[in-house]
Structure 1
């Protein structure tokens, strides 16, 4: 199925001109460069809204005439709450990474779901056991995507209670962080959404695993010997495709986006 044919990508019927990435510490994000590569001849712009406060970021977004924005950490839950409407996937996950503005009314979406699902689908990874490390917004999207692919999911996190909450939300398993090494022995996939290395990974055996890491700026597991390491850049590009289609209604230049991701 083509992205443009997906019913859950509600292409807006209004033309957008001004977009942004909203978050903290986003100055080094690849998103503006990806957007420029995706639409090289467009007069549409993509900037950064960096703020220490979600409400202030929202005020900037609305008062400066932005029509859409990607949302990154730590504001995915806040902008879910700010939104007037939610698409089915963001509703299931409980967080958003994209909002559209229609006359001051915000609709939330979650394209991180595709950032996980599409690369795994392309590799035929649709069955087996997966461990998700982390319990934030990216982890939530990953768990739903893995469940929809038919995988058996176990969540681990530094804060056990957060792992429990996430697991119960999606009716999957959870284990103490100390069990991660044993869990990986019997798993085919590790989705790693934590910015820092976890205890227990130094002694873990990755040789029979595919590793998919969300963090593309400072990866922790890219040097591990494994079946395949999938970079966070692929996650970024894979979620950006439906994001940019929602913004513009036009299919982006995928090859140009991939070139930016590889070379940055």
Structure 2
């Protein structure tokens, strides 16, 4: 019997996950299909109940449901609990168990640029769901400091205060972070600022950027945001969000199927789909 997989979100038409996963099912000759499902917030409980009833093998969760789905599941793993968000659900013997592969996907995607986080000073820009996933993953991997900067400082402070691991972290305004930018070895931009179609914006000035820093923007459309363009002009190493997207998807695929997929193939499919965007 064909196994069914899905992604739940609202909106969902832009998602490249169906393209990526259905290609993998075909490549590995698996009798399975991955389908996008637009689910309104008020219908989420009914949708989860229905998916469980039909025996769905697994599904992804995207905005705006990553947090609100948690009480509807039978369980979540430790990292998803710390982050307070789920992006991957696995049907484990009839029970829907939630995971978060965003943070581990981020780490896997930057390993070539940043082999070790030990002793590094990191700035995260933004305090939303992606920032939370990256923050809680980073603090487990040995950095000296992980600061969080956000337009609303209170939200950054809330994120920092929720971390139970002993690590140096400051909550900063965007202006404060901009003035201290030369302190950081790694800067991770997690907001939607600079995403297509409004591509000429950036969250803060890079005038004080350390030219030896690695600057990462989780946006991948455009492939080179204004933020990355300015960082490159300053001499920094830059990286976009393609690999984070691909690796979080690869980790989900492995949880569902037990197969570690060809991430190079996944990456090429996404890049092909993005053909013609500014890079």
TM-score (norm 2): 0.81
Structure-1 separation of matches of 2:192 and 2:54: 32
The structure showing larger relative contact order (alpha-carbon pairs under 8 Å, at least 6 residues apart) is 1
- Residue in 1 aligned with 2:124? 132
TM-score (norm 1): 0.85
- Range 89-98 or range 222-231, more displaced: 222-231
Structure-2 separation of matches of 1:225 and 1:164: 26
Question: Are the equivalent residues in 1 in contact too, given 2:126–2:151 (CA < 8 A)?
Answer: yes
Do the aligned partners of residues 56 and 194 (structure 1) sit closer, same or farther apart at CA in structure 2, a change above 3 Å counting? Answer: farther
Structure-2 separation of matches of 1:225 and 1:163: 23
Do the aligned partners of residues 242 and 208 (structure 1) sit closer, same or farther apart at CA in structure 2, a change above 3 Å counting? Answer: same
Aligned residue among 134, 156, 168 for 1:163: 156
Instruction: Report runs of 4+ in structure 1 exceeding 4 Å deviation.
Output: none
Structure 1 unmatched ranges of 5 or more: 1-14
Structure-1 separation of matches of 2:20 and 2:180: 36
Deviations 1:16-74 (Å, cap 9, x if unpaired)? 81111111222121111111232322221111111231335434533554221111122
Deviations 1:117-137 (Å, cap 9, x if unpaired)? 112333314131111111122
Question: Are the equivalent residues in 2 in contact too, given 1:37–1:253 (CA < 8 A)?
Answer: no
Structure-2 separation of matches of 1:51 and 1:205: 41
What pairs with 1:39-188 in structure 2 (closer than 5 Å)? 39-40=25-26, 41-53=29-41, 54-59=44-49, 61-62=51-52, 64-102=54-92, 105-123=95-113, 124-127=115-118, 128-151=120-143, 152-170=145-163, 172-188=169-185
What pairs with 1:243-262 in structure 2 (closer than 5 Å)? 243-262=252-271
Do the aligned partners of residues 145 and 220 (structure 1) sit closer, same or farther apart at CA in structure 2, a change above 3 Å counting? Answer: farther
Q: Number of residues paired by the alignment?
A: 250
Structure 2 unmatched ranges of 5 or more: 194-200, 274-279
Structure-2 separation of matches of 1:233 and 1:23: 20
Superposition deviation, residue 215 in structure 1? 2.2
RMSD: 2.3
